[in-house]
Structure 1
Amino acid sequence: MHEIIQEDRSMFLFLNNLGSHSFDQFWIMISATWIWIPLYIIFLYLLFKNYQLRNLVFILIFIALGVTFSDQLAGIFKTGVARLRPCHDPTLTGLMRDVKCGGQFGFYSSHAANTFFIATFMSLLLYRKYRLLPYILFIWAIIVSYSRIYLGVHFPLDILMGSLMGFFAGGFFATLALKVIHKQNNSNSTTTISE
């Protein structure tokens, strides 16, 4: 385990030090939530276009539940594992680029968990209509996740764990959403036939 942590720190220092002052504001922006609001509006439009309004309500409920679950679980891990963020680690002072900092603990990354949750969830609901969408979404999730290393707030293992948690949570909640939609559509069809 000690060797894995040392490798993680080495990888962090390598990736973090690839940055330069000229690009700091760009990566701060990439890491911000507000910049992606237009993308979320596009997601909403695609869902509205491909699912009935009643189904869209169920989808939005599952998205809200999934993101809340993902975010809260990350908070539990952060306090439970209590691994210092790179920017709070005194042994990395002077070795890393400290662009921005967050709370004291960083395992695992909420940004990675949430973006991979959304990428997985949206991919499973829309890939039949938009074959390239999953590739675009996962590239987006990777870029946002990398921004956290660039800024100095997460180690690569924080990102990897967050990505995996988001991926599995996205798959789980998307499966639930699709089952509810399928059941809803079947019950509507049965009602229409009986009438």
Structure 2
Amino acid sequence: MSFVFPNSQAIPVGVVIRKSPGVTRWAEWAWRVVDVLAGAPDAQWTVLRQEGDVTDYHAGTLPLELYVSDTEAYVHELQTRDPSLYIVLSPDVSSREFPWKVTLVTASPYEGQDYCDSDEVMVERIAMPEGMKAWIGDYISRHHEEEAFVKRKRKNMRVDDVEDGIGDPRISQTSDVYRSPRRNKEVLK
């Protein structure tokens, strides 16, 4: 089920994944995202190029969706040295030939970071095409509103009346429980 949010925009993005021989004895193949195709049609693991043991696949097409609530993240990403898209790949246990499925394409570095916290998915960062930078920049110019910084003010509450750290009031003591230990004068001689 797909929801339509007001002022959101989407563009289909194809994800190109390269399969190459693994460099260790533990991994027969290495899989990594090498490119994105803006406006790509639907595809499922279509071979784009093959040279020896290296194969580039159009692994899938997902919408890159922009939301008004995430414009701060898009601004942050476009201001970096190398603006990027974040592609989330999940393990595909139903396929023996292709161990990954494309789960998400996002321009939000915050959302990409959220997925990095999981060890069940792989997050790949790929350079954002120039046309996509312009499209996202246009979206930001139409929808982003800078939030003014508001410093919080302390409430009119007296904090010096509270006697923190004096211990349990039921036990009588002559001083603070967090005092330093007294030195024994006889031990020092």
The TM-score range, normalised by the shorter chain, is under 0.3
Q: Which has the higher helix share?
A: 1
Relative to the length of structure 1, the TM-score reads 0.25
The answer to which structure, 1 or 2, has the higher relative contact order (CA under 8 A, 6+ apart) is 1
Q: Which has the higher strand share?
A: 2
Relative to the length of structure 2, the TM-score reads 0.26
Question: Which structure would you say has the larger Rg?
Answer: 2
